[in-house]
Amino acid sequence: MGITTLTAARILKGQLENRSGEETVMTMDTFPYVGLAKTYSVDFQIPDSASTATAYLCGVKSNLNTVGLSGAGRNGVCRSQKGNEVTSILRWAKDAGKSVGIVTTTRVQHATPAAAYAHSASRKWYADSDMPASAKEGGCRDIAHQLINNIDIDVIIGGGRKYMTPRGTKDPEYPYDLAAAGRRADGRDLIAEWQKSKAGKVAHYVWNKKDFDAIDSNTTDYLMALFEPGDLRFELERDPVKDPSVIETTEKAIQILQKNPKGFFLLVEGGRIDQGHHASRASMALHEAVALDRAVARALEITNENDTLTLATADHSHAFSFNGYPFRGNPILGKSPLFGKDSLPFTTLMYGNGPGHKIVNNKRPDIRGVDTTSNAYVQQSAVPMDTETHGGEDVAVFARGPMAHLFHGVQEQNYIPHALAYAACLGENLGHCLSPSSTTEQDVMNTAPRLPSHLIAQLTVGILATTLLH
């Protein structure tokens, strides 16, 4: 969710409300403090979501495709994990007695959520069947196993059912789809194991909207909601009867977590923004970004800005451009009034590379009769690729609430969790945190910046995420 995505999503949001679009104000636009984060990884100039999520959640730069490891962890090398594990702000918050949660529109074992709880030399080791024999022999564990064993996470919402159940287990929603069946080679049912581990607590596992809506947040201690075998459906393809929106899942997560008087931390990821871009389907990516912005708005409505720090940022950008001198109010998914030197039109949104590169008889396709606003339209690109790549420019960091001023200027991406921890009085650097037993309330009001008891951080890129500390 780079700057171009934010700008285009802002215009789309306005045009969906029958306005010209350019003057629209996104919820994230209202955040008073804005900075930039440098996204490169240890080994690559342009990163992936595993290395960037490790940076903004764990506070260290890492190598491409690795999650929850320092730069000493090597891609796909199991033995490089030992001794190089790094913990995330989600773990720091849990250790401090706060409730913690993860909400994503991808599988819950995907790179961004995985960096919050797992340590893996490969982001692709979703289930044990995805791991090479050498990794299993070396003692490395798959990400789904780590999801329920590493940290006691109070709320887990997203997709990824098939990585939790034994190979061949029929999916409850798609029983005749072999691709949706369980993937685990070890025969373990991690959903059942999770339920068993919560004996004595009010813990719910759900996989559909009906059961999700029936959950009473006031009495629920733990929630695992897995709505798809893999990633959730794009917002434009989501069946609102069967699957909740990211707005609804964010709201439910906050309602459950905010009961903890010590506060909470919630990571919310609009992960399919990234996947829409990889397919060069700008319509899909932008509608995901608009949905994510609405989730941010809902989060702000049900939390108190006096005690909640909210952060919105991105993993990385994409090879995505906005060009061509379109007139004011031109459909953001439409065509430029200009033609290229080949006497053919082009869309104002295009990609530097991707599956949209097509040359026939040394010419680009003629799109004069093509509806480029269609959800299925694949934008043209300059370089042919099976899937579009990430971009390497800095990404925006928006902040509001107590200590939001910490997010300013141009910073390394791994600065983010350290600033969040400082703001929420997590970890060892607590000299600025005033003790109620030694300081009067009036002294606090007069001498110290207000500290958040809740932290909401929205992290975004081709993927977006949101974090709340109650």
Report the catalytic residues. 49
Maximal C-alpha separation, the chain: 79
Q: How many CB atoms lie within 10 A of CB 132?
A: 13
How far is it, in rounded angstroms, from Cα 30 to Cα 24? 11
N-to-C CA span, the chain: 26
- The token pair at 225 is 């909601």
How many Å apart are CA 332 and CA 329, to the nearest integer?
8
Which residue reads 């104002």 in tokens? 348
- What are the structure tokens assigned to 393, written together? 């420019």
Alpha carbon distances (Å) from 377 to 100, 277, 287, 461? 38, 12, 14, 21
CB of 303 closer than 8 Å to CB of 296:
no
DSSP output for 354-368: ETT---BTTB----T
Backbone angles phi, psi at 428, to 5 degrees: -95, -25
| Rounded CA separation 22/15 (Å) | 9
Q: Is 342 exposed, middle or buried (0-12, 13-18, 19+ CB in 10 A)?
A: exposed
Q: Indicate the SS3 state at residue 129.
A: helix
Per DSSP, the three-state class of 311 is: strand
Closest by CA to 250, choosing from 104, 67, 47, is 104
In degrees and rounded to multiples of 5, residue 179 shows phi and psi of -70, -20
Long-range (24+ apart) CB contacts under 8 A made by 73-80 are 73/119, 73/121, 74/121, 75/121, 75/122, 76/121, 76/122, 76/132, 76/135, 77/121, 78/121, 78/134, 78/135, 78/138, 78/139, 78/140, 79/138, 80/121
